[in-house]
Structure 1
Amino acid sequence: MKYSTGKETKRKIIDATFQLMADKGFDALSIDDIMTSIGRTKGSFYVHFKSKEELLYEVMRTRLDRGHGQMAEEILKELSKDNCNVRAILERVTDEIHSSSGQNRLTWAFAFYHLLIHSRKNEFVREWLESNEDQWSNFLRMIVKRGQELGQIRTDVDTQTITNMCMAIVVGYDILFMLNPQIDFSEVNHIHDWMFVNDQNPKNEG
C-alpha cells in the first residue's frame, strides 16, 4: 500500500507541476506552490525528487516529450512500399504530433513555451529541446525525401526547406492554439497542398 501511495504522490507532483508551469512559468514556481496544490508537505517532495530541476526533467520526459518512437517502425515499413501514400503518412504524423499533447492541449502548449523561455538559461533543457527538434526534423525529412523519390512531392524545392516548412507549420499552429483554442488543427492538411504534386495530372502524356 505504501508503494502504491508513493507512486500516486509522485504522479500528483508531476501533474501539478505541469499545470502550474503552464499557468505561471517554471521560474516563478516554488516547491511550496506545488506541494500546497496537492495537499502534501514540502518534506514529502524530497522523498521523490532531489531538487526542483530534477522534477522539471521528469515533467519534460513524461508530459512534454513528443517522441515518435512508437510509430517510427510502422512508418518506415509503409515508406518502403512502392505504392505508399506519402500524403496520408504525413497527415497521420501531423495528427499524432498534436494528439501527443494529451487531452489538455492548451496546458501542454503553455507549459512547452514556458520551457522554451527557461531553456535560455538552462543548458540541459536547451540541449533536450534541440535533440527533440533534430529527431522530428530527421523523421519528417525522411518522409519528404521518400515523397520526392516517388514523384508525390515537388522537387523544385529542396528537401530540407520543405521539412523546415512542415516543422514551422506545426509550431505555428501551437502558437495559434494558445491564442485561439477553437482553431481547427485539420487545416494543416490543406496547407500541405502546396508541396504535393497534383495527382490528377497525367504522369505520361502522349
Structure 2
Amino acid sequence: MKYSTGIETKRKIIDAAFQLMADKGFDAVSIDDIMTSIGRAKGSFYVHFKSKEELLYEVMRIRLDRGHGQMAEEILKELFKDNCNVRAILERVTAEVHVSSGEDYLTWAFAYYHLLTHSRKDEFVREWLETNADQWSAFLNMIVKRGQELGQIRTDVDTQTITNMCMGIVLGYDILFMFKPRIDVNEVYHIHDWMFISDPFSKNE
C-alpha cells in the first residue's frame, strides 16, 4: 500500500508541476506551489526528487516528450510496401503528434514553450530539445524520401527542406493554438497539398 501511495504521490507531483509550468512558467513555480496544489507537505517532495530541476526533467520525459518509438516500428513496415500511401502515413504521424500531447493540448503547448524559454539557460534542456528535434527530423526525412522515391512527393525541392517545412508547420500550429485555441489543427493536412504530386489511390476509389 505504501509503495502504491508513493507512486501515486510522485505522479501527482509531476502532473501538478506540468500544469503550473503551463500557467506560470518553470522559474515562477516553487516547490511550495506544487506541493500545496496536491495537498502534501513540502518534505514529501524530497522523497521523490532531489531538486526542482530533477522534477523538470521528469516532466519533460513523461509529459512533454513526443516520442515515436512504437509508431516508428509500425510505420517502417508500411513505408516499404509496394502499395505504400505516403500521404496517409504522414497525416497519421501528424495526428499522432497531437494525440501524444494529451487531452489538454493547450496546456501542453504552453508548458512546451515555457520549456523552450527555459532552455536558454539550461544546457541539459537545450540538448534534450535538440536531440528530440533531430530524432523527429530523421524520422520525417525517411518518410519524405520514400515518398519521393515512389513518385508521390515532388522532387524539385530538397528532401531536408521539405522535412524542415513539415516540422515548422506543426510547431507553427502549436504556437497559433496558444492564442487561437479554436483553430482546427487538421488544416495541416491541406497544407501538405503543395508537396504531393497526387494521391496514388485516388483512381481506385
Answer yes or no: is the 8 Å Cα contact 2:75–2:89 preserved in 1: yes
> Do residues 50 (structure 1) and 22 (structure 2) align?
no
Question: What secondary structure is seen at the aligned counterpart in 1 of 2:192?
Answer: helix
Name segments (4+ residues, structure 1) moved above 4 Å: none
**Take 1:196 and 1:163, find their aligned partners in 2: how far apart are those partners?**
13
Q: Percent identity?
A: 85
Question: What secondary structure is seen at the aligned counterpart in 1 of 2:16?
Answer: helix
Q: CA deviation at 1:199?
A: 4.3
> Which residue is 2:79 aligned to?
79
**Take 1:181 and 1:100, find their aligned partners in 2: how far apart are those partners?**
17
> Which residue is 1:93 aligned to?
93
Answer yes or no: is the 8 Å Cα contact 2:119–2:126 preserved in 1: yes
**Take 1:83 and 1:6, find their aligned partners in 2: how far apart are those partners?**
50
> Which residue is 1:12 aligned to?
12
Q: Per-residue CA shift, 1:119-174, capped at 9, x if unaligned?
A: 00000000000000000000000000000000000000010000000000000000
Report the AA paired with residue 186 of structure 2: S
**Take 1:75 and 1:179, find their aligned partners in 2: how far apart are those partners?**
33
Q: CA deviation at 1:83?
A: 1.4
> Which residue is 2:203 aligned to?
none
**Take 2:142 and 2:199, find their aligned partners in 1: how far apart are those partners?**
21
Report the AA paired with residue 49 of structure 2: F
**Take 1:162 and 1:48, find their aligned partners in 2: how far apart are those partners?**
43
Q: CA deviation at 1:70?
A: 1.1
Count of residues paired in the alignment: 200
Q: Per-residue CA shift, 1:85-136, capped at 9, x if unaligned?
A: 0000000000001111000001100000000000000000000000000000
Q: CA deviation at 1:57?
A: 0.4
**Take 2:193 and 2:141, find their aligned partners in 1: how far apart are those partners?**
17
Structure 1 segment 56-205 matched on structure 2, within 5 A: 56-199=56-199
Q: Quick one: structure 1 residues 31 and 199, their matched pair in 2 at CA, closer, same or farther if it must change by over 3 Å?
A: closer
Q: CA deviation at 1:4?
A: 1.0
Q: CA deviation at 1:198?
A: 2.8
Answer yes or no: is the 8 Å Cα contact 2:87–2:199 preserved in 1: no
**Take 2:96 and 2:5, find their aligned partners in 1: how far apart are those partners?**
32
**Take 2:102 and 2:137, find their aligned partners in 1: how far apart are those partners?**
21
**Take 2:4 and 2:186, find their aligned partners in 1: how far apart are those partners?**
40
Question: Structure 2-normalised TM-score?
Answer: 0.96
Report the AA paired with residue 49 of structure 1: F
Report the AA paired with residue 25 of structure 1: G
User: How much is the aligned-residue C-alpha RMSD, in angstroms?
Assistant: 0.8
Give 5+ residue unaligned stretches, structure 2. Answer: 201-205
**Take 1:70 and 1:82, find their aligned partners in 2: how far apart are those partners?**
22
**Take 2:7 and 2:81, find their aligned partners in 1: how far apart are those partners?**
44
Question: What secondary structure is seen at the aligned counterpart in 1 of 2:82?
Answer: coil
Report the AA paired with residue 23 of structure 2: D
